[in-house]
């Protein structure tokens, strides 16, 4: 929060740059732009994607490629759909996911597994997942 102090402040909202005293900055943020809790709440320029900065990064290792995604999914099915799309697999194809933890893998088979995975992903902010397709399964 900006205090009422007699020093100038610089605030950027999109492409608008305002240099003013703190009182005016507070007035600007509440009247013209709304109240923002953090920088991610500032309106973006139309047509540009809002980038997540606090989402965990998941590195997926498949037989054919390795790729990263920011973790925004809320279920195991959503996570599998993301992987299928990236690998160009049909929606009906079976894929198997397992979190890589050092020398071990932890299967992601149901929503309880996903809940534990979600917790560790948000705790560590970076997790690796092994992807196995039906044709690559032993």
Q: What is the pTM of this model?
A: 0.63
Task: List CB contacts of 16: < 8 A, sequence separation 6 or more.
Answer: none
Domain ranges (residues) in the chain: 8-41, 57-136
SS3 41: helix
Cα separations in angstroms, 53 against 1, 71, 72, 84: 21, 11, 11, 24
Q: How far apart are CA 74 and CA 85, in angstroms?
A: 17
What pLDDT does residue 19 have?
53
Give the class (CATH, top level) of 57-136.
alpha beta
**Which one-letter DSSP state was computed for residue 91?**
T
What pLDDT does residue 14 have?
53
Instruction: Name residue, tokens 């279920």.
Output: 75
What pLDDT does residue 137 have?
77
What pLDDT does residue 115 have?
97
DSSP for 98-115 reads EEEETTEEEEE-SHHHHH
User: Over the Cα atoms of the chain, what is R_g?
Assistant: 22
Neighbours of 111 (CB within 10 A): 12
pLDDT along the chain (138 residues), means of 10: 50 52 42 45 62 88 95 97 96 96 96 97 97 84
């Amino acid at each position: 929060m900006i205090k009422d102090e007699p020093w100038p402040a610089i605030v950027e909202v999109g492409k608008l740059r305002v240099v003013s005293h703190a009182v005016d900055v507070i007035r600007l943020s509440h009247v013209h732009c709304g109240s923002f809790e953090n920088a991610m709440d500032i309106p973006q320029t139309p047509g540009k994607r809002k980038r997540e900065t606090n989402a965990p990064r998941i590195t997926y290792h498949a037989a054919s490629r390795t790729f990263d995604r920011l973790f925004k999914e809320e279920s195991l099915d959503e996570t599998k759909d993301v992987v299928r799309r990236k690998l160009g697999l049909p929606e009906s194809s079976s894929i198997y996911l397992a979190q890589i933890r050092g020398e071990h893998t932890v299967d992601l088979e149901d929503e309880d597994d996903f809940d534990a995975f979600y917790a560790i992903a948000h705790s560590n902010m970076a997790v690796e997942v092994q992807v196995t397709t039906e044709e690559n399964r032993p």
